[in-house]
Structure 1
Amino acid sequence: MKAARYKRFGDHNEIEIEEVQKPKIGSDEILVNVHASSVNQADWLTLTGNPKIARAVFGIFSPKKKILGMDLAGTIVAVGEDVTLFKSGDKVFGESTECFAEYTCVSEHEIALAPEGLPDEQVASLPLAGLTALNAVRDQAKVQDGHSILVIGGSGGVGTFTVQIAKIFGASVTAVCSTENIDLMHSIGADAIVDYKTDDFTKSNARFHAIIDIVGSGSLRTHRRLLRDDGVYVAVAVGKTSMGVIGRMLRIALLSKLGSKKMLSFVSSPNSADLGALRDLVENSNLKPIIQRSFSLTEVAEAMRLQGEGHTKGKTVIKI
């Protein structure tokens, strides 16, 4: 099978499309024929090995797993003897590893049945970004009907899902984005938009029930000031260097102990129940993936280059 591989940490130039052995499944594993995947910031971090603290997971000196990709939409072609929830022929989506390939092995808890009536490319854009947004809105910020929410970084993959899910939960959403993304924010339901190129949202007199920060920069004290007394700041991104990540997480934890305002950071993890909840939002609440651009498997390096440059609008998809 064909797969997008890298043998050492670096930039997009390390990626090569190679013929490799189709993976063999264990008794509790599932083999999926991958139809599409999508690019996440986590893929860029995996490729570059930065921040270096992440190498405790990815590999200290070289990558533990040589195939990139964390999102998948595809069809099950084989199941292990201990698998009970899925069968061959099921169309599924999920978050795993080594998904920039024609086939990948997953476990039952990493996938769910795919939303009906949605093209593979859109389905593939859902898992990591959608789960992160759902966890941020529902579990961390605990958004309720009538809440006022500030989304910092509303136009990216996680951001476009966050704005929509917060609206579905009944919130009034203010989105921070650049000038060129204002129309996009209007189209997905943002109630108010702050163009960070022309306006400084940190000087606002507004006070929010929750701030969901997908950018991970700026003064935490300033962000905290924008919260109501019972508000919560949720950090989806916390920095780009090891010391930056550790330092920001420590500051978030420290500030959370001062007064009634909460400051949180979290990492989302895949599970079938939340994937099912995400599917329900697509099928019943009109949650829509925003696709910026699609690439073929042979163009993964270019897709990753664009991800590394930042400022993506919605999701970048890989057709396999």
Structure 2
Amino acid sequence: MKAIVQDVYGSTDVLELRDVGQPAPGDDEVLIRVRAAGVEQGVWHLMTGMPYLTRAFFGLKAPRNPIRGREVAGRVEAVGRNVVGFRPGDEVFGTAEGTFAEFVCAKEGKIARKPARLSFEQAAAVPISATTALQGLRNSGRLQPGQDVLIIGAGGAVGSFAVQLAKALGAQVTGVCSTAKLDLVRSIGADHVIDYRHDDFADGARRFDLILDTAGNRPLSVLRRALRRRGTLVIVGGEGGGRWTGGFERSLRAALLTPFVGQKLKGLMTAERQEDLRYLAEVIDAGSVTPVIDKSYPLRDAAAAIRHLRDGHARGKVVITV
């Protein structure tokens, strides 16, 4: 089968389209014929091995799994002997290791049936980005109907899902984004939009019950100025920062600071669960959430897809079609 493979950590130059052996599902796995794969920030971190903390979990000298990609949508080709929830022919979406390939094996508990109203490309955009938004708002943020929520990075992959999910959960939503994305953020349901290049959301004029920061580079002191006295800040991801811990330094500082202030300051660690995929499929099929696709690339152009994501100008998600 064809797959995007790397032998060492590095830039997109280390990625190669190669013929590799087709995987066989284990007892608790399904074999999926990949139709589309999502591109998210984790792909870049695993490709580069940055920050260095990443390598402690995924391989010190090179990635243990050389095939990139973690979000998938496709059809089940075969199932392991312990799998009871799926059968060949089912259309599914979820997460697996090595989805930039024609076939991938996924744990039964990491996939769910694809939302009926979505194409494979749209469904591949959902698993990690939408789950991150959901868990940030609902689980870590404890979002309640009627609360004022600020989504920083509202025009990006996680942010575009967060705006729609926050509205579905009954919040008043303000989105922060660049000038080029203002219309997009309005179109997906934000009640208010702030252009970060011209306006300061932390000027004290307005405070929020919950801030979901998907942009990853503002100091905690700035974010706290926009937060109500008993409000909650949820930091998504670890962009920026040093070479060893990256942007996760902010999450560590938040955890150390929160016992001494009235505000709750949290870093988000997303858990990939089938129950969340099922919930997302329900709200998507109900019409409350629709993935925003910026651009699709063929498998051979996976490196270009990653570069486009890292440029920071993508409106919503970048996906790869197989």
Q: TM-score, normalised by structure 1?
A: 0.97
1:252 match: 254
Matched residue, 1:290: 292
Letter in 2 for 1:265: G
Query: What residue is the counterpart of 2:99 in the other structure?
Result: 99
Q: Which residue number in structure 2 is paired with residue 276 of structure 1?
A: 278
Counterparts of 1:115-130 in structure 2 under 5 Å? 115-130=115-130
Matches within 5 A, 1:54-65: 54-65=54-65
Helix, strand or coil for the counterpart of 1:277?
A: helix
SS of aligned partner of 2:104: strand
SS at match of 2:202: helix
Equivalents in 2 of 1:171, 1:74: separation in Å? 33
State whether residues 67 and 100 of structure 2, in contact with CA within 8 Å, keep that contact through their aligned partners in structure 1.
yes
> Which residue of structure 2 aligns with residue 313 of structure 1?
315
2 CA distance for matches of 1:314 and 1:200?
23
For 1:170, give the aligned amino acid.
G
Offset from partner CA, 1:2-26 (integer Å, 9 cap, x none): 0011111111111111011000121
Separation (CA, whole Å) in 2 of partners of 1:28 and 1:115: 23
> What are the Cα deviations for residues 93-141 of structure 1, in whole angstroms up to 9, with x where unaligned?
0012100000001111110011012111001100010100111111111
Shift of 1:185: 0.8
In 1, Cα distance between equivalents of 2:105 and 2:246: 34
Task: Indicate conservation of the 8 Å contact 1:239/1:248, yes or no.
Answer: no
* Aligned partners of 1:3 and 1:19 also within 8 Å: yes
- Tell me how far 1:40 sits from its aligned partner: 0.3
Gaps spanning 5+ residues in structure 1: where? none
Query: Take 1:176 and 1:270, find their aligned partners in 2: how far apart are those partners?
Result: 26
How many residues align? The count is 320
Answering whether residue 215 of structure 2 is matched by residue 237 of structure 1, we say: no
Distance 1:206 1:74 in 2: 44
Cα distance change of structure 1 residues 236 and 246 upon mapping to structure 2, 3 Å threshold: closer
After TM superposition, the runs of 4+ consecutive aligned structure 1 residues lying more than 6 A away are none
Change in CA separation of 1:174 and 1:248 when aligned onto 2, cut-off 3 Å: same
**Superposition pairs of residues 85-234 of structure 1, within 5 angstroms:** 85-234=85-234
SS of the equivalent of 1:203 reads coil
- In the alignment, the residues of structure 2 paired with residue 76 and residue 220 of structure 1 have an alpha-carbon distance, to the nearest angstrom, of 44
Q: CA offsets, 1:139-160, max 9 Å, x none?
A: 1111121100011111110000
CA–CA separation in structure 2 for the residues paired with 1:232 and 1:98: 35
Shift of 1:226: 1.7
Aligned partner letter, 2:280: L
Q: SS in structure 2 opposite 1:50?
A: coil
Q: Distance in 1 between matches of 2:301 and 2:252?
A: 39
**In structure 2, the residue corresponding to 1:202 is in which secondary structure?**
coil
CA drift of 1:249 comes to 2.3
Please give the secondary structure, in 1, of the residue aligned with 2:283.
Answer: helix
Offset, 1:246? 4.9
Equivalent residue in structure 1 for 2:269, among 262, 267, 270:
267
Q: What is residue 303 of structure 1 aligned with on the other side? A: 305
RMSD across aligned C-alpha pairs, in angstroms? 1.2
* Other-structure match for 1:76: 76
TM-score, reference length from structure 2: 0.97
Determine if the alignment matches structure 1 residue 13 to structure 2 residue 34. Answer: no
Letter of the 1:55 counterpart? R
Question: Contact 2:133 / 2:159 at 8 angstroms: preserved in 1?
Answer: yes
- Tell me the amino acid that sits aligned with residue 267 of structure 2: S
Instruction: Name the % identity.
Output: 39
Match of 2:3 in 1: 3
| Equivalent pair of 2:217/2:247 in contact (CA under 8 Å) | no
